[in-house]
Structures are given as structure tokens and as C-alpha cells.
Amino acid sequence: MDLQALEKILAELGEPRFRAGQVWAWAARGAEGFEQMTNLPAPLREQLAALLPFSSLQLQTEASSRDGTVKALFATADGRPLEAVLMRYRDRHAEHGAPTPGRRSICVSSQSGCPLTCRFCATGAMKFARNLTSSEILDQALHFRRIEPIDHCVFMGMGEPMLNLDAVLGACERLPDIGVTHRRTTISTVGWIPGIERLGECDMPVRLALSLHAAEDALRSELMPVNERYPLADVIEACRAFHSRRRRRVFIEYVMLAGVNDRYEQALALARLLQPAGDRGKPVFKVNLIPFNPSGSEFEGSGRESIAAFRAALESRGVPVTVRLTRGRDIAAACGQLAASAA
Ligand code: SF4
């Protein structure tokens, strides 16, 4: 819902200021239209339905994966494409009583397309259109909230969030109303230092993830042209400063590309880059190894054995590591696959 337009319309209708909050509260709880907002006068509900689209996004297509992942392709009012993904993790079964629903995490876009052309990324191969507004970001979350409650959000869809940080932070402010606390919100960057610095100063305790993908400058610049502007050492220093300030571990995203960045000595170089640990001996970084998803690119994903060996090399040097579960690969909803195409 275009929240600025909502406020303007309510003011023009002579409604009290609290009305906007009432409308938002309903939307954030998963209401499907103005007609459900029963604490608003009926004539006002009708006026709003006539004057304001309930979402700033039009759903174009939606695809569901065998693993429960849902990918939605939207268009903005001016016809710009973007995608968002809902990932469902397994329910937890208690010995007695009903199972607790597993994590419901959404991956949202901050831009339509992306200007940063990372070589392994399907979004980077698209034409960049524009930054999304906070309302357009929130409408991705609200779309999934209308399906079921959600509790985690990652800004890892289309675009570089730090290039649109005002809108991203504007959306983050309202995510707790939808069920996603700041501590369960992660903003990912390819290393846009001014954004990392600003995030370190912001008062919301959101998490930071750095898409690293190579532990030395030459390879990283080849894979991610942004490295020419913000070289590795400077980016890592900015992340360390974020950690000292916020006391929150920084996630390192590392996509595993066969024969490119998955060799043993590259794991050792990565371990060296991420050391030393912070104060009190606790690691500053946690590495998330991401099996690469075929997206019509020139790269192949590393095999299971290579990923396991890479992981073992990092762990033997005290670097915490996880290997990301691949979700939604069959509907092109996995990492690096978002390119505004129906699966
Ligand atoms: S990886 Fe992120 S920053 Fe790089 S092109 Fe893709 S969306 Fe843009």
C-alpha cells in the first residue's frame, strides 16, 4: 500500500491522523482489503477502496516449489518488474502437543534490476530500472503475510540495498508490525562501504551480511566489479567497525563456484582474511557457503565434496561455517536466480 498516498487521501477526506495507523495495523496483520477494517466507518472503507489500490504492486505470477518455497513476480505501478520469495523451513515437532511452525523467511528486493553487474548473478544481467520505495518493499512482505505469518526477512532479492538505504530502512522500521523483528532482519551488501557505515550508526539492531565470494582482490574484481571501487581490505575493516559498534556477528555470503573460488588454498586465504577474532576471542564473522544455482551463467556450482572440504578447512582454523540449504531451485527462486522471469 502506498503509505504516503494513504496519508494524503485521509487528510483530503478530513479524517483524523490516527486513521492511517488503523489502516496500517490491519494491513500488517494480513488483511486482504479495506472492507475487512471493521473499526473504520463503512463509507470511509468504500472511499479508500475506490481511491487507493490495496497494494502498490501487481502480482504477475506466483510459483511454488516442491520444498514449499513460493516465488512471486510483481510489477510496480509504472511497470517495473521485481521478485520476492517466501521460504518455509520444517516445522518443529514436540513430543507432546501440536508442532511449532518452522521459520518463515522472506527474501525481498530493494531495486528493480541492479546496476552492479556481478558476473554470477541473474539479476545483474537484467536492465536496471529504479530504486523501490519503502511501500513497494513492504508490499512484498505484506503479500506473503496475507498467505501466513512470517518471522524473518533478508534483503537479498534484486538489487543492492545500500544503494537504496533510505527506503530500505524506512521499510525496516515497519517490519516488526508485520511480525519480523529487527534482530531477525538481515541487510546484505556487496561491500558498499558508505552503507555499511550508515547501518552501523542506525538505531535498529538489524543484521549485516557481506556478499564476499572471493578472498583476494583480483578474483573478486573479476567476479564483482564493485570491488574496484571498494577493495576487500577496506570492506572487511568497515565490517569489523560495524561489529565493534553493534556487537553483532557479520555474515559472510560465499557462493561456491566450481574451479573458481572453491580450492583449498582459497579457503585458507578466506580464513586468514576473517581473522583475528574480535574482543573476548569471539569470531567477528560467520561464513555461509552457498551452493551455486545454475542461472544460465558461465559458471558451474561446486560439488558436495568440494563444499565439504572448503568448510572443513575453514572450521579447522576456527571460522564458524554453515552451508546454506538450497530452497526453490526448481522455480528459479534460489540465490542468484532472481531475474524477473516466471519459473
Ligand atoms: S549479486 Fe546483488 S549486487 Fe550483485 S548484481 Fe546481483 S543483485 Fe546486484
- Please indicate, yes or no, if residue 104 is contained in any of the structural domains: yes
253 among known catalytic residues: no
**9-17 long-range CB contacts below 8 Å, 24 or more apart?**
9/48, 9/51, 9/52, 13/44, 13/47, 15/44
What is the C-alpha to C-alpha distance for residues 303 and 300, in angstroms, rounded to an integer?
9
- Residue 121 Cα to ligand 1 middle (Å): 6
Q: Give the residue from 110, 119, 226 showing the smallest Cα distance to 159.
A: 110
Could you tell me if 62 and 204 lie in one domain?
Answer: yes
Exactly one of 83, 136, 160, 253 is catalytic; name it. 83
- Please indicate, yes or no, if residue 198 is contained in any of the structural domains: yes
CATH number assigned to the domain comprising residue 19 = 1.10.150.530
Task: Give the domain range for residue 127.
Answer: 55-331
- Please indicate, yes or no, if residue 338 is contained in any of the structural domains: no
On the CB side of 50, CA atoms within 13 Å amount to 7
Q: Which residue has the least CA distance to atom 7 on ligand 1? A: 159
CB contact at 8 A, 146 and 138: no
**Cβ of residue 190 lying under 6 Å from some atom of ligand 1:** yes
- Please indicate, yes or no, if residue 15 is contained in any of the structural domains: yes
Mean pLDDT for 331-336 is: 54
Could you tell me if 117 and 183 lie in one domain?
Answer: yes
- Residue 22 Cα to ligand 1 middle (Å): 37
Exactly one of 118, 153, 239, 335 is catalytic; name it. 335
- Residue 119 Cα to ligand 1 middle (Å): 9
DSSP string, 107-142: E--SEES-TT--TT-TGGGSPP-EEPPHHHHHHHHH
Could you tell me if 170 and 34 lie in one domain?
Answer: no
Q: Is the pLDDT of residue 57 over 70?
A: yes
Q: Cell numbers of 2, please?
A: 502506498
What is the C-alpha to C-alpha distance for residues 108 and 110, in angstroms, rounded to an integer?
7
Could you tell me if 184 and 229 lie in one domain?
Answer: yes
Residues 6 or more apart whose CB falls under 8 angstroms from that of 49 comprise 33, 34, 35
Could you tell me if 31 and 110 lie in one domain?
Answer: no
Q: Is the pLDDT of residue 263 over 80?
A: yes
**Cβ of residue 117 lying under 6 Å from some atom of ligand 1:** yes
**Cβ of residue 180 lying under 6 Å from some atom of ligand 1:** no
- Please indicate, yes or no, if residue 340 is contained in any of the structural domains: no
**Cβ of residue 113 lying under 6 Å from some atom of ligand 1:** no
As separate numbers, helices (DSSP H) first and strands (DSSP E) second, the chain gives 11, 12
Q: Give the residue from 28, 294, 315 showing the smallest Cα distance to 146.
A: 28
Mind listing the pLDDT tens digit for each residue in 162-177? 999 999 999 999 999 9
Q: Is the pLDDT of residue 327 over 90?
A: no
**Cβ of residue 297 lying under 6 Å from some atom of ligand 1:** no
On the CB side of 95, CA atoms within 13 Å amount to 0
CATH number assigned to the domain comprising residue 117 = 3.20.20.70
Q: Give the residue from 131, 179, 185, 138 showing the smallest Cα distance to 158.
A: 131
- Please indicate, yes or no, if residue 343 is contained in any of the structural domains: no
Mean pLDDT for 247-274 is: 96
This prediction's pTM? 0.93
**Cβ of residue 210 lying under 6 Å from some atom of ligand 1:** no
- Please indicate, yes or no, if residue 342 is contained in any of the structural domains: no
In this prediction, residue 337 has a pLDDT band, given cuts at 50, 70 and 90, of low
| Count of structural domains, the chain | 2
- Summary mean pLDDT of the chain: 92
- Residue 157 Cα to ligand 1 middle (Å): 8
DSSP string, 58-126: EEEEEEE-TTS-EEEEEEETT--EEEEEEEEPPPBPPSSSPPBP--EEEE--SEES-TT--TT-TGGGS
83 among known catalytic residues: yes
Mind listing the pLDDT tens digit for each residue in 98-149? 767 789 999 999 999 999 999 988 887 888 999 999 999 999 999 999 999 9
SS3 290: strand
Residues 6 or more apart whose CB falls under 8 angstroms from that of 233 comprise none
